[in-house]
Structure 1
Amino acid sequence: MITVVGMEAICHDSSLNRRRMDFTAIPSTYLNKSPERLIVNNGILDVLTGDLADHTPAEMYTMRINVNYDPDVEIPDTFEKYLTSTFKGVEWQIPIIQEMIGYCLYKKYFIEKFFFLVGNGSNGKSVMINLITRLLGQENISAMDIHEICYPKDIHSLKSLHGKLANLCGETGDADIKNLGKLKKVTGRDLIRSRDLYKSWIEFYNFAKIIVSMNNPPTIKDGIKGAKRRLVIITFPNEFNLGINADENLEDKLFTPESLTGVLNWALTGLHRLIENGKFSDPRTEAQITNRYEKISGPVKCFVEAHIDEIDRGYLNEKTGKIEYSDYGWKIVFEKSRLTFAEIYEAYVKYAKKQALPIPKQADIIKCVTDECIRLEYAYLITRDRYEKDEDGKPRPWYEYFKGLKLCGTESLDSDEITLFDEEPEKFDEEPENSATV
């Protein structure tokens, strides 16, 4: 038996000499001719029109999704409930998710976008990635790390994207990304040249949509302003815990054949809207996307800039009753000032939960706060109380704190409402920048 995979014919009978089967290789020009045609279990689906044709040997494709197509199947209630709970407070992101999954079904990269799914753990990201994997099929997905795409190890690396519907990868590590050239290339309809080891060179246009799921996005040194036109950030702000608000059987319910058929129809609706609009249903401005990425890639830095400041240098002269400024008065105010590590951590946790940002360990937060205060040239001193007693006169643990610093503007952090932007997103009123002919 011979199975067509890519451009090669693979012999499954080990008794035959594989080299004798080379003459059965099918030229790539005969494969995957129509990007809108997708093999499903019960036929050949045109993802643009929704028409379903019978399987035929006249059309050859190297990929198939293990899903039945039935346009009458509606979105499953379980999936709808998952979406509304996962994106509670940020429901405007659901159409973007719908379009992203639908975009993966179309073997063309006509809008230059890559996707970052971000949020702390236990927030639904893994369910979303697993759902996309089950819908598209593991064999139709590559798993290159974002750093591998930006910095290919060798000439063979990018071959992993060839003939795939999506590239799904998880945590990227904390290494900075200094050059986005390759990432822009694989999302920009540029011709890619690569090969397998000891094989001939191939040239291809990538259509595997780049989707990265992570808790802590890397810092982009190449300039986030250059990437913002291609970057779509999808935040998963809500936390789910087993025994409280999480369904341990959720994936079993989502991955039934009928459920996947409903998800396929839902995704196709998103694809059709994406094509009609020529852009994703993302209401954010470029400035908001830039601001958001700076926050999620450097949350403590943004927290310090917004909520930590030097203490006032003026002191109250008890004799005159006036605020005075002098070196002597500054020393008095400085020595009396106190901002404990615990107070900073508590304020940061509120800040992070309100804006769905990563929450590092307290020690890591304090280190980042210290580094930022040095960068901002704040005058401060770190010290500790060695023998502090509580209200009952019992010794307390050592308390480390800053002298010379204070919290500011923390009143807004007491609200439980999730706020992903400094301002509410506004609809685009300009023409889409990344649209292309379908």
Structure 2
Amino acid sequence: MNKKYAGLDFPAWFDGKDVNEAAFCREFLSKNKLIYADNAFFTPDGRLTDPLLLKEKIYAELECYAAKNIPRTISNIVEIMKLAAHAESFPPKPDEIHVQNGTLRIDGSFLAGRSEIVRSRFPIDYNPQAGKPVVWLRFLSDLLYPEDIPTFQEYIGYCLIPSTKGQRMMILKGEGGEGKSQIGPVLARLFGCNMKDGSIAKISDNRFARADLEHIHLLVDDDMKMEVLKQTNYVKSIVTAQGKMDLERKSVQSYQGWMYARLLAFSNGDLQSLYDRSNGFYRRQLILTTKEKPADRVDDPDIAEKMKLEIEGIFLWAFEGLQRLAANNFRFTESLRTLNNRKYVKRDANNAIDFMESTGYIRLKADMSVTSKELYAIYGIWCDENGLTPIRQRSFSDFLMRNLKTYNLEHTNTVTNATGRRVWGYLGIEPLISPRISENWGKSLCTYVPES
């Protein structure tokens, strides 16, 4: 203790001249529940989203004692606190939802109080007596078909827990003007800092974008871009993430972080990929189509604010969907329309499916064969005559290789071409037309008229 200040009542971490930063951390942590894990501070209120809040609290303790280098002292204390409050393991709890007045479990049990340090806490109270969200339900009945509302209910409930067991993302598709964008502000009120506005296209193109979703429950793309994705691996990895995944930030070494963000997009079209036409890409999508907007409907500009007033009832509605989803082993309720939407999007992205089911060009026949080159040429004729753009030859080949069992085909290098050479091709397909017509190779046979 500095002799000049002997006898004065100072904190243990201040000697009258300097701040003992380590001692300050010990006292601060003894009075505040705080841990540091996975590159973030967590409190009973959830993740500390703004580091400035912690610095403000430290400054409030220091301002009467520290007179010099205060910003540097605070920064040093924060760094020491990361070590002093570090927790080796702090995994998410996928069966718990932390709200303002306690913790709600999927089984319906509720524990009042908020003494536990948690990863996330929603800015609402659990009120089992809350009334039905009448405005919200009426809005959804005007927006979605009745058989699709349970799917949407389950998905919003699914986003309440830190889990990706459902292995799905959701797209709400409409022509525009139906009111899809009113959902975003309501979800922002429900999820608070656990939701983030963003872009699926950015996730696809930017390898650093995934790290921005760490600790987040839901990403909402309010106006999904119509451009096709050049790569889908980042999007697919988020949708199906289980446990930790490799994350990257600029100028920082990659690290393992928890990822349980769900993706919800509002769009006027489909989510398509430039190269990925695999089942894995499309089966991860729940695609709901909106109703057409009635010509005589008058929109309420305050509808979102009115729905926010029902937030406790909306939470109960979403929780009901979560319980139904969990009881069904996290398999979503899907109407025939939703299933057909996925099939349509898949076919629209890959016209080779329709070609394989066409007549007059090829026939599936066990004892026949066709070379790979000849089959692609026939496919090109089919596209030309139907006004379609053929997919790349490599993509066409990859599609057939993934679906050999579907069409009862065998890929082999024992097929004999027209010149008598053995080349790669397929057993089980009979070509019904021949594209080999001298200089007319690749032209439509329907427009070719041989000279007499």
With the length of structure 2 as denominator, give the TM-score of the two structures.
0.59
Counterpart check, 1:288 vs 2:345: no
Q: Give 1:24's match in structure 2, choosing from 81, 99, 102.
A: 81
Counterpart check, 1:7 vs 2:60: no
In structure 2, the CA distance between the partners of 1:275 and 1:245, relative to structure 1 (3 Å rule), is same
Distance in 1 of aligned mates of 2:171 and 2:233: 17
Counterpart check, 1:277 vs 2:285: no
Query: Any idea what the Cα deviations from partners look like across 1:115-158, whole Å, max 9, x if unmatched?
Result: 11110211121112222221111x21233321222232x4x321
Q: Give 1:239's match in structure 2, choosing from 293, 296, 301.
A: 293
What's 2:199 paired with? 145
Distance in 1 of aligned mates of 2:253 and 2:339: 45
What's 2:259 paired with? 206
Give the structure with higher Rg (CA): 2
Counterpart check, 1:262 vs 2:313: yes
Residue 122 of structure 1 contacts residue 240 of structure 1 at CA under 8 Å; is this kept in 2? no
Residue 287 of structure 2 contacts residue 342 of structure 2 at CA under 8 Å; is this kept in 1? no
1:186-201 superposed matches below 5 A: 186-190=238-242, 191-199=244-252, 201=254
Residue 31 of structure 1 contacts residue 60 of structure 1 at CA under 8 Å; is this kept in 2? no
In structure 2, the CA distance between the partners of 1:78 and 1:129, relative to structure 1 (3 Å rule), is same
Counterpart check, 1:82 vs 2:136: no
SS for the counterpart of 1:265 is helix
Please identify, of 227-236 and 22-31, the stretch whose mean Cα deviation from structure 2 is larger: 22-31
What's 2:167 paired with? 112
| Residue type of the alignment partner of 1:186 | I
| Residue type of the alignment partner of 1:100 | Y
Counterpart check, 1:122 vs 2:130: no
Counterpart check, 1:135 vs 2:174: no
SS for the counterpart of 1:213 is strand
Q: Using the TM superposition, give the Cα deviation of residue 237 of structure 1 relative to its aligned residue in structure 2, in angstroms.
A: 2.0
1:154-165 superposed matches below 5 A: 154=207, 156-165=208-217
What's 1:37 paired with? 96
Query: Any idea what the Cα deviations from partners look like across 1:195-240, whole Å, max 9, x if unmatched?
Result: 4445564312321111111112243241163323211001112326
**Count, aligned residues:** 298
Distance in 2 of aligned mates of 1:253 and 1:236: 21
Q: Using the TM superposition, give the Cα deviation of residue 32 of structure 1 relative to its aligned residue in structure 2, in angstroms.
A: 5.4
SS for the counterpart of 2:172 is strand
| Residue type of the alignment partner of 1:7 | N
Residue 108 of structure 1 contacts residue 207 of structure 1 at CA under 8 Å; is this kept in 2? yes
1:271-350 superposed matches below 5 A: 271-278=322-329, 279-284=331-336, 288-293=340-345
Distance in 2 of aligned mates of 1:148 and 1:192: 18
Distance in 2 of aligned mates of 1:222 and 1:294: 10
In structure 2, the CA distance between the partners of 1:91 and 1:252, relative to structure 1 (3 Å rule), is same
What's 1:167 paired with? 219
Distance in 2 of aligned mates of 1:378 and 1:216: 22
Q: Using the TM superposition, give the Cα deviation of residue 374 of structure 1 relative to its aligned residue in structure 2, in angstroms.
A: 11
What's 1:313 paired with? none
What's 1:377 paired with? 385
| Residue type of the alignment partner of 1:69 | Y
| Residue type of the alignment partner of 2:146 | E
Distance in 2 of aligned mates of 1:268 and 1:29: 31
Query: Any idea what the Cα deviations from partners look like across 1:147-201, whole Å, max 9, x if unmatched?
Result: 222232x4x3211110001011133323222432222211112542124445564
Residue 35 of structure 1 contacts residue 108 of structure 1 at CA under 8 Å; is this kept in 2? yes
In structure 2, the CA distance between the partners of 1:29 and 1:237, relative to structure 1 (3 Å rule), is farther
Residue 216 of structure 1 contacts residue 297 of structure 1 at CA under 8 Å; is this kept in 2? no
Distance in 2 of aligned mates of 1:169 and 1:66: 21
In structure 2, the CA distance between the partners of 1:128 and 1:292, relative to structure 1 (3 Å rule), is farther
What's 1:333 paired with? none
1:97-108 superposed matches below 5 A: 97-108=152-163
Q: Give 1:72's match in structure 2, choosing from 105, 129, 138.
A: 129
SS for the counterpart of 1:17 is helix
SS for the counterpart of 1:172 is coil
Residue 246 of structure 2 contacts residue 255 of structure 2 at CA under 8 Å; is this kept in 1? yes
Residue 282 of structure 2 contacts residue 346 of structure 2 at CA under 8 Å; is this kept in 1? no
Residue 74 of structure 1 contacts residue 265 of structure 1 at CA under 8 Å; is this kept in 2? no
Q: Using the TM superposition, give the Cα deviation of residue 82 of structure 1 relative to its aligned residue in structure 2, in angstroms.
A: 1.0
Distance in 2 of aligned mates of 1:378 and 1:292: 17
* C-alpha RMSD over aligned residues: 3.2
Distance in 1 of aligned mates of 2:92 and 2:226: 40
Counterpart check, 1:176 vs 2:184: no
SS for the counterpart of 1:203 is strand
| Residue type of the alignment partner of 1:176 | V
Q: Using the TM superposition, give the Cα deviation of residue 297 of structure 1 relative to its aligned residue in structure 2, in angstroms.
A: 7.5
What's 1:95 paired with? 150
Distance in 2 of aligned mates of 1:146 and 1:163: 17
Query: Any idea what the Cα deviations from partners look like across 1:324-367, whole Å, max 9, x if unmatched?
Result: xxxxxxxxxxxxxxxxxxxxxxxxxxxxxxxxxxxxxxxxxxxx
Residue 114 of structure 1 contacts residue 211 of structure 1 at CA under 8 Å; is this kept in 2? yes
Q: Using the TM superposition, give the Cα deviation of residue 97 of structure 1 relative to its aligned residue in structure 2, in angstroms.
A: 0.6
Residue 36 of structure 1 contacts residue 47 of structure 1 at CA under 8 Å; is this kept in 2? yes
Residue 124 of structure 2 contacts residue 190 of structure 2 at CA under 8 Å; is this kept in 1? yes
Q: Using the TM superposition, give the Cα deviation of residue 39 of structure 1 relative to its aligned residue in structure 2, in angstroms.
A: 2.5
In structure 2, the CA distance between the partners of 1:70 and 1:287, relative to structure 1 (3 Å rule), is closer
| Residue type of the alignment partner of 1:180 | T
Q: Which runs of 5+ in 2 are unaligned?
A: 1-27, 42-50, 60-69, 356-380, 388-452
Q: Using the TM superposition, give the Cα deviation of residue 30 of structure 1 relative to its aligned residue in structure 2, in angstroms.
A: 5.4
Residue 7 of structure 1 contacts residue 27 of structure 1 at CA under 8 Å; is this kept in 2? no
With the length of structure 1 as denominator, give the TM-score of the two structures.
0.60
In structure 2, the CA distance between the partners of 1:252 and 1:144, relative to structure 1 (3 Å rule), is closer
Distance in 2 of aligned mates of 1:106 and 1:73: 21
